[in-house]
Amino acid sequence: MIYGFTGKILYVDLTAGRLHTETIDETAYRLYPGGRALAAYLLLKHMPAGVDPLGPDNVLILANGLLTGAPFSTATRFTAAARSPLTGAYGESEAGGFWGPELKMAGWEAIVVTGQAATPVYLSIQDDRAELRDARHLWGREPEEAQAIIRDELGDKLTRILQIGLGGENLVRFAALTNELRHFNGRTGMGAVMGSKRLKAVAVRGSNRYLGIARDPQSIADLGKRLAKRVKQHPQSWDLQDKGTPGLTAGLNTAGILPTRNFHTGEFEGVDNLRWEAYEQEILTARRSCYACAVRCKREVTVNDRYQVSSEYGGPEYEAVAGFGSNCMVDDLQAVAKANELCNRYTLDAISTSSAIAFAMECFEHELIGPDETGGLELRFGNAEAMVRCVEMIARREHIGNLLAEGTRRAAEVIGDDAPYFAMQIKGQELPMHDPRGKVGLGLGYAVSETGADHLTAFHDPMVANPESLSFKGAIPLGVREALPPRDLSRKKVELYALLENWSSMERAVGLCYFGPTPRSFIAVDEVVDAVRAATGWDVTVEELLRIGERATNLARIFNVREGLSRADDTLPQRLFEPLESGALAGVAYPKDDFARALTELYEVKGWDPQTTMPTREKLAALGIEWAADLAG
Amino acid sequence: MIYGFTGKILYVDLTAGRLHTETIDETAYRLYPGGRALAAYLLLKHMPAGVDPLGPDNVLILANGLLTGAPFSTATRFTAAARSPLTGAYGESEAGGFWGPELKMAGWEAIVVTGQAATPVYLSIQDDRAELRDARHLWGREPEEAQAIIRDELGDKLTRILQIGLGGENLVRFAALTNELRHFNGRTGMGAVMGSKRLKAVAVRGSNRYLGIARDPQSIADLGKRLAKRVKQHPQSWDLQDKGTPGLTAGLNTAGILPTRNFHTGEFEGVDNLRWEAYEQEILTARRSCYACAVRCKREVTVNDRYQVSSEYGGPEYEAVAGFGSNCMVDDLQAVAKANELCNRYTLDAISTSSAIAFAMECFEHELIGPDETGGLELRFGNAEAMVRCVEMIARREHIGNLLAEGTRRAAEVIGDDAPYFAMQIKGQELPMHDPRGKVGLGLGYAVSETGADHLTAFHDPMVANPESLSFKGAIPLGVREALPPRDLSRKKVELYALLENWSSMERAVGLCYFGPTPRSFIAVDEVVDAVRAATGWDVTVEELLRIGERATNLARIFNVREGLSRADDTLPQRLFEPLESGALAGVAYPKDDFARALTELYEVKGWDPQTTMPTREKLAALGIEWAADLAG
Q: What is the pLDDT of residues B435-482, one digit of tens each?
A: 999 999 999 999 999 999 999 999 999 999 999 999 999 999 999 999
Domain end: B380, B401, B430, which one? B430
Q: Picking from A198-212, A388-402, B151-165, which range would have the lowest pLDDT averaged per residue?
A: A198-212
- Is B41 in contact with A24 (Cβ distance < 8 A)? no
pLDDT on residue B540: 95
Report how many domains make up chain B.
3
Sign of torsion, CA A247 A250 A256 A260? positive
Percent of chain A having pLDDT more than 90?
A: 94
CATH number of domain containing B95: 3.60.9.10
Q: Picking from B258-262, B457-461, B547-551, B561-565, which range would have the lowest pLDDT averaged per residue?
A: B457-461
**Residue A5 distance to chain B (closest CA, Å):** 14
CA distances from A153 to A61, A122, A207, B192 (A): 25, 12, 19, 61
- Is B541 in contact with A24 (Cβ distance < 8 A)? no
- Is A626 in contact with B537 (Cβ distance < 8 A)? no
User: Both B132 and B266 in a single domain?
Assistant: no
**Residue B444 distance to chain A (closest CA, Å):** 28
Q: What are phi and psi of B400, to 5 degrees?
A: -60, -25
The model's pLDDT over B367-421, given as tens digits with 9 standing for 90+, comes to: 999 999 999 999 999 999 999 999 999 999 999 999 999 999 999 999 999 999 9
User: Both B519 and B613 in a single domain?
Assistant: yes
- Is A45 in contact with B1 (Cβ distance < 8 A)? yes
Q: pLDDT band at residue B1, thresholds of 50, 70 and 90?
A: very low
Q: pLDDT band at residue B4, thresholds of 50, 70 and 90?
A: low
By the 8 A CB rule, do A234 and A519 touch?
no
Of residues B538, B618, B626, nearest to A627 (C-beta): B538
CA distance A335 to A114: 39
CA distance A619 to B106: 37
Specify if A3 maps to a domain. Answer: no
User: Both B23 and B124 in a single domain?
Assistant: yes
Q: What SS3 string covers A141-181?
A: CCHHHHHHHHHHHHCCCCCEEEECCHHHHCCCCCECEEECC
Specify if A352 maps to a domain. Answer: yes
Specify if B227 maps to a domain. Answer: no
DSSP B576: G
Closest chain A residue to B31 measured between Cα atoms? Answer: A624
Q: What are phi and psi of B429, to 5 degrees?
A: -100, 135
CA distance B525 to B517: 7
Q: pLDDT band at residue A4, thresholds of 50, 70 and 90?
A: low
The model's pLDDT over A117-150, given as tens digits with 9 standing for 90+, comes to: 999 999 999 999 999 999 999 999 999 999 999 9
Q: pLDDT band at residue A2, thresholds of 50, 70 and 90?
A: very low
User: Both A172 and A272 in a single domain?
Assistant: no
CATH number of domain containing A496: 1.10.599.10
Q: pLDDT band at residue A3, thresholds of 50, 70 and 90?
A: very low
**Residue B28 distance to chain A (closest CA, Å):** 7
Q: Picking from A30-34, B191-195, B211-215, B516-520, which range would have the lowest pLDDT averaged per residue?
A: B211-215
Specify if A237 maps to a domain. Answer: no
- Is B25 in contact with A28 (Cβ distance < 8 A)? yes
Specify if B146 maps to a domain. Answer: yes
CA proximity to A197, closest of A218, A217, A177: A177
In our burial notation (b when 16+ CB lie closer than 10 A, e otherwise), range A600-619 reads ebbbebbbbeeeebbbebeb
User: Both A493 and A420 in a single domain?
Assistant: no
Specify if B162 maps to a domain. Answer: yes
Of residues B26, B617, B623, nearest to A627 (C-beta): B26
CA distance B390 to B353: 9
- Is B626 in contact with A30 (Cβ distance < 8 A)? yes
Domain ranges, residue A43: 8-212
Residue B483 CB neighbour total at 10 angstroms: 16
Q: pLDDT band at residue A13, thresholds of 50, 70 and 90?
A: very high
Residues of A in contact with B27 (CB under 8 A): 28, 41, 45, 625, 627
Q: Decide which of A239 and B176 is more confident.
A: B176
Q: pLDDT band at residue A1, thresholds of 50, 70 and 90?
A: very low
Residue A633 has pLDDT above 90, yes or no: no
User: Both B366 and B444 in a single domain?
Assistant: no
User: Both A555 and A478 in a single domain?
Assistant: yes
Specify if A223 maps to a domain. Answer: no
Domain end: B430, B456, B482, which one? B430
**What angle do helix axes B542-562 and B491-510 make, rounded to 10 degrees?**
90
By the 8 A CB rule, do B65 and B77 touch?
yes
User: Both A108 and A75 in a single domain?
Assistant: yes
Domain end: B399, B430, B461, which one? B430
DSSP-derived secondary structure for A25-68: -HHHHHHS-BHHHHHHHHHHHH--TT--TTSTT--EEEEEBTTT
Q: Decide which of A317 and A214 is more confident.
A: A317
Q: pLDDT band at residue B633, thresholds of 50, 70 and 90?
A: low
Chain A residue set in contact with B, beta carbons under 8 Å: 1, 24-28, 30-31, 41, 45, 537-541, 543-544, 547, 617, 621-627, 629-630, 633
Q: What are phi and psi of B348, to 5 degrees?
A: -110, 145
CA distance B379 to B375: 10
Q: What is the β-pairing status of strands B121-126 and B199-205?
A: parallel
User: Both A347 and A378 in a single domain?
Assistant: yes
DSSP-derived secondary structure for B401-419: HHHHTT-HHHHHHHH-TTH
By the 8 A CB rule, do B185 and B92 touch?
no
Q: What is the average pLDDT across A259-285?
A: 97
pLDDT on residue B12: 98
pLDDT on residue B2: 35
Closest chain B residue to A632 measured between Cα atoms? Answer: B539
Specify if A622 maps to a domain. Answer: yes
DSSP-derived secondary structure for A78-142: EEEEEE-TTTSSEEEEEE-SSHHHHHHHTT-SEEEEES--SS-EEEEEETTEEEEEE-TTTTT--
Peptide bond into A519 cis (omega under 30): yes
Residue B3 has pLDDT above 50, yes or no: no
pLDDT on residue B61: 98
User: Both A374 and A419 in a single domain?
Assistant: yes
Q: What is the average pLDDT across A191-218?
A: 92
Percent of chain B having pLDDT more than 90?
A: 94
Q: What share of chain A is helix, strand, coil (3-state, %, to 5)?
A: 45, 15, 40
Name the average pLDDT for chain A: 96
Q: What SS3 string covers B158-211?
A: CCEEEECCHHHHCCCCCECEEECCCEEECHHHHHHHHHHCCEEEEEEECCCCHH
- Is B537 in contact with A27 (Cβ distance < 8 A)? no
- Is B45 in contact with A622 (Cβ distance < 8 A)? no
By the 8 A CB rule, do A172 and A348 touch?
yes
Of residues B540, B544, B624, nearest to A623 (C-beta): B624
Q: What is the average pLDDT across B485-497?
A: 97
pLDDT on residue B232: 85
Name the average pLDDT for chain B: 96
CB contact set of B182 (below 8 Å; sequence gap of 6+) = B97, B288, B298, B300, B312, B313, B314, B344
By the 8 A CB rule, do A437 and A266 touch?
yes
Residue B632 has pLDDT above 80, yes or no: no
CA distance A508 to A496: 18
- Is B621 in contact with A537 (Cβ distance < 8 A)? no
Residues of A in contact with B632 (CB under 8 A): none
- Strand, coil or helix: what is A294? coil
User: Both B425 and B452 in a single domain?
Assistant: no
CA dihedral of residues B25, B26, B31, B32 (deg, nearest 10): 70
User: Both B324 and B380 in a single domain?
Assistant: yes
Specify burial of residue A66 (Cβ count, 10 A radius: 0-12, 13-18, 19+).
Answer: buried
